[in-house]
Amino acid sequence: RDGKDQGRGNPGHRPALRRHAGVVATLHRVGEGVFRGRLRRRDRVRRIEHPRISADPGKRHAAVPGSVDRLCRPVRSRDHALSHLQRQGPDHRRVLLAGSRNIAQKAEAYLKSTGIGDTAYFGPEPEFFIFDDIRFGQTYNEGYYHIDASEGFWNAGRVENPDAAGNSRNLGYKPRYKMDSHQDLRTEMLLTLEQIGVEIEVHHHEVGTAGQGRDRHALRLAREHGRQAAEVQVRVKNVARRHGKTVTLMPKPLFQDNGSGMHVHQSLWKDGRNQFFEAGNYGDLSQMALHYIGGVLKHAPALLALTNPTTNSYRRLVPGYEAPINLIYSMRNRSAAVRIPVYSNSEKAKRIETRFPDPTCNGYLAFSALLMAGLDGIQNKITPPGPLDKDLYDLPPEEMSKIDSTPADLSEALNALEADHEFLLKGDVFTPDVIETWIAYKRENEIDAIRLRAQPPWSSARSTSTSGPATS
């Protein structure tokens, strides 16, 4: 306990300390159910008290010299740290059920209780843009944003990216090394993530031409990836900042360019066997996997309120730009909401890929909701629409009209969640209060906030720059 903190008279003032390098993360209970976290130099801490705080269910981590640190990880340097804490009630015993991490724990417990499987593996693929500069502002009488990127088509002729002239969509995907100006930066991000236990299978330049990149994470427990989804955002932003760059994970930062999603790979296992694998079927998928897909597609409109939780999310989910707006499944169609990866025929690698989520979601909530939707599909033997491997852009209108699509905006997704959330309440994983609070908050603080802003009455002709990238 730091001597300066003594004598303040805060009730139940007890710090829980975690150790990392020369920094200690402290948690102070300053009132009933109210906690305040601080970072302190280790040499300033005189005594350690460890209350009932845990990083994982059923585990207590003693803060003693030499103990393995499970809570505190480096953020930027040895002088910074990040602490993950589980919310508990005022008596230090009752876990607060509304905490998103606790929801993920309950989802995993519910999976085991059904007997369908004992482990759910998830592997997200967050996409992001690396920009040189971002500025924006919104006041009573004006609003603007400004983005600059060395790879942008508007910077044609710069030495670091002479290929920028005439850039159009699809020219950014996995370019040659010498033309990928952010290869080394993304590699440094990968190495930084590996230092904190985030296993990356691959990283590469994405389709977006103004510095879009993607990381594919190895399959792990849904709860672990929920934590890592938040950590990844902190790390990639800090690595970019060291190089004078800035990173955004917003789904649609640029007009008339591809957006950033977060495809989520999923599989269920039981007794060491992949329950989604059955050789010889379409995509080598088992009947259980098809029913899981059926649940995800049936509940997709409601799911998007959690997996795509911002108004900007729906700027990405529009026809074209490889956006996964069609509620079907396929092995090859990128516009399908669920795709079956075909780069391996092994049981270990078999999984489904849900393509509509984006990096703005809370991983704990999004992954838990996807799992609950899939389990509902298995329990009710829901048959999914599809598969459809045709080029949807060539389908006649009468056929396209039979294919359901994702909600057009956040308001539509919230309405769907309000009408369809019983599957989330099974096993008390989500609660009615959590759903109601989420919907009310989003409507008041995001939908209404955007609706009240002034929008210039531009026509499509005036809002489309003739100097922009090709869009045909």
Q: What is the pTM of this model?
A: 0.74
Distance, CA of 335 to CA of 333 (rounded, Å): 5
Q: Which of 308, 126, 355, 120 is nearest to 222 (CA)?
A: 120
**Distances, alpha carbon 231 to alpha carbons 3, 68, 173, in Å:** 32, 19, 25
pLDDT, averaged across the chain: 74
Domains and CATH numbers, the chain: 3-96 (no CATH), 105-454 (3.30.590.10)
Q: What is the 3 state secondary structure string of 261-289?
A: CEEEEEEEEECCEECCECCCCHHHECHHH
Q: For the stretch 429-460, what's the b/e string if a residue is b when 16 or more beta carbons lie within 10 angstroms of its beta carbon? A: bbeeebbeebbeebbeebeeeeeeeeeeeeee
**Maximum mean pLDDT: which of 72-81, 88-97, 109-118, 230-239:** 109-118
Distance, CA of 265 to CA of 39 (rounded, Å): 36
Q: What is the DSSP letter of 405?
A: B
CB-based contacts of 310: which residues, under 8 Å, 6+ apart?
A: 250, 251, 360, 410, 446
pLDDT in tens, 416-435: 999 999 999 999 999 999 99
Distance, CA of 342 to CA of 333 (rounded, Å): 12
Mean pLDDT of 209-213: 56
Determine which helix (DSSP H) or strand (DSSP E) holds 126, and give its type and residue range.
strand 119-131
Q: Rounded to 5 degrees, what are φ and ψ at 208? A: -55, 135
pLDDT at 111: 97
pLDDT at 204: 55
Q: Which of 232, 199, 224 is nearest to 128 (CA)?
A: 232
Give me the DSSP letters along 200-259: EEEEEE-S-TTTEEEEEEPPEEHHHHHHHHHHHHHHHHHHHHHTT-EEE--S--STTS--
Distance, CA of 147 to CA of 458 (rounded, Å): 21
Rounded to an integer, what is the distance from CA 265 to the centroid of its chain?
A: 12
Residue 306 sits at the vertex; the CA angle it makes with 381 and 196, to the nearest 5 degrees, is 105
pLDDT at 379: 98
pLDDT at 2: 38
CB-based contacts of 43: which residues, under 8 Å, 6+ apart?
A: 22
Residue 339 sits at the vertex; the CA angle it makes with 338 and 343, to the nearest 5 degrees, is 160
Higher pLDDT, 312 or 69: 312
Task: Tell me if 354 sits within 8 A of 370, measured CB to CB.
Answer: yes
Distance, CA of 289 to CA of 276 (rounded, Å): 5
pLDDT in tens, 253-277: 888 788 889 999 999 999 999 999 9
pLDDT in tens, 297-353: 999 999 999 999 999 999 999 887 778 999 999 998 878 999 998 877 889 889 999
Q: Which residue has the tokens 């999310």?
A: 313
Q: Rounded to 5 degrees, what are φ and ψ at 222? A: -60, -40
| Least confident piece of the model among 152-156, 203-207, 301-305, 453-457 | 203-207
Q: For the stretch 313-347, what's the b/e string if a residue is b when 16 or more beta carbons lie within 10 angstroms of its beta carbon? A: bbbbbeeebbbbbbbbbbbebebbbbbbeeeeeee
pLDDT in tens, 133-153: 888 888 888 888 888 887 777
Percent of the chain clearing pLDDT 70 (strictly above): 64
Q: What is the DSSP letter of 178?
A: G
pLDDT at 362: 92
Handedness of CA 107, 109, 115, 117 (dihedral sign): positive
Does residue 51 carry a pLDDT above 80? no
Residue 157's pLDDT band, with cuts at 50, 70 and 90, is: low
